[in-house]
Amino acid sequence: MAQTNQAAHADHTETHGTFRSYTLGFLFSLLLTVIPIAIVLNGWLDGTANALALMAAAILQFIVQLLFFMHLGEERKPRYNLITLLLGLVILLVIVAGSMWIMMYNTVAV
């Protein structure tokens, strides 16, 4: 039974992160959460600069999550996970951009 179990694990070549990579990912995530909170609570930026800083922090947070916790760069061929993620991002971008377009240019003609 033990030989069969070991053979099953030998074929499964999925990589997992190390303690160091998870710790770095956690620290980066924490930093990218604290920075926008500090910007908003202290009023360091206004208007468009504030929105751009928050969006940049959100994008960086997303990249950190993908690289350190979801191990997106460590997958083997074929890259179905990456293709699925890109399709999801395109759909999300269309929904968010469309919603913002509607909210910004919604003129009611009376």
DSSP characters for the chain?
-HHHHHHHHHH-------HHHHHHHHHHHHHHHHHHHHHHHHT-S-HHHHHHHHHHHHHHHHHHIIIIIS-GGGPPSS-HHHHHHHHHHHHHHHHHHHHHHHHHS-----
Residue 82: pLDDT over 50: yes
Give the pLDDT confidence score for residue 110 in this predicted structure. Answer: 63
pLDDT digit string, tens, across residues 46-56: 988 998 999 99
Higher pLDDT, 85 or 1: 85
- pLDDT band at 64; cut points 50, 70, 90: very high
Give the pLDDT confidence score for residue 11 in this predicted structure. Answer: 47
Mean pLDDT of all residues belonging to the chain? 83
Q: Where are the domains of the chain?
A: 2-77
